[in-house]
Amino acid sequence: MTNMSIRSFKLSLAATAIGAAIAMASSPVVAQQAMQPMQPMKIERGTILTQPGVFGVFTMFKLRPDWSKVPAMERKSAAEEVKKLIEKHKDNVLVDLYLTRGLETNSDFFFRINAYDLAKAQTFMREFRSTTVGKNADVFETLVGVTKPLNYISKDKSPELNAGLSSATYSGPAPRYVIVIPVKKNAEWWNMSPEERLKEMEVHTTPTLAYLVNVKRKLYHSTGLDDTDFITYFETDDLTAFNNLALSLAQVKENKFHVRWGSPTTLGTIHSPEDVIKALAE
């Protein structure tokens, strides 16, 4: 080929590549993918706990009776084993571990795993089952959900209540207790119009505002992912205030649409994962 022919050939290739790129960018699928936020290279607690689209896996465990027969040194080293596992997966999942022994009958501890990719949470839990503690414990309950933007009490749909939610700040002592309550609604609820459900949720939300100063809350959506519709997660240092909050919610009409509230309700204490395993080793 002559120099002129080679130059023309290169220009033709460049034009084809540019045209293909423009066509891909104009494709709805590609454009949508381009708009998707990139997953952070490292899990940041303050970020992942405030974002929508984050999966939450709650797994409650009961230690087997033979756990007490495991040599004391093995039980003590179990804490370091779990610590190393959490370190290994720190870029993929956020791990919280809670102690329920002494407060619950059906469990001794439970995990809350937050992850952008549900498969990453599954991998962590699968590998945990190979640890000393995991081999000596049985799963009592597993709940799976995902965080979403506010469905009802949003700036557009309910601006006054939304402002109340947004301005309420937890001001109590550092929470020592955690409560997890699964909730399932009946068919009547889901067949109501969005406007009707909004009214019910406004009545539901109003009495809760007074408790936001001493009760933290977080909601995971589970419909289609689990046999429940919501996982409600709370942290508090004031269990009396939480009890009053629960009573106020039990008295609103929206409560009539529940076919499950709790069953189980899980109450635990907040510690570092390492301290939870050390307590179980005693």
Q: Which residues are catalytic?
A: 217
HSE-CB at 265 with a 13 A cutoff on CA atoms is: 10
Query: How confident is the model at residue 42, as a pLDDT?
Result: 80
pLDDT digits 0-9 by tens, 161-173: 999 998 888 998 9
- The reply to whether 45-146+270-281 and 159-269 are identical in fold is yes
Write the pLDDT tens digit of every residue in 57-109. Answer: 999 999 999 999 999 999 999 999 999 999 999 999 999 999 999 999 999 99
**Residue in the structure block whose two tokens are 């087997």:** 64
- CATH assignment, 45-146+270-281: 3.30.70.1030
Q: How far is CA 60 from CA 63, 74, 137, in A?
A: 10, 22, 10
What's the CA gap between 115 and 57, in Å, rounded?
Answer: 9
CATH class of 159-269: alpha beta
Q: Give the SS3 label for residue 25.
A: helix
Average pLDDT, whole number, for the chain? 89
Task: Enter the pTM of the model.
Answer: 0.84
Number of Cβ atoms within 10 Å of the Cβ of 114: 21
CB atoms within 10 A of CB 39: 15
Domain range summary for the chain, segments of one domain joined by +: 45-146+270-281, 159-269
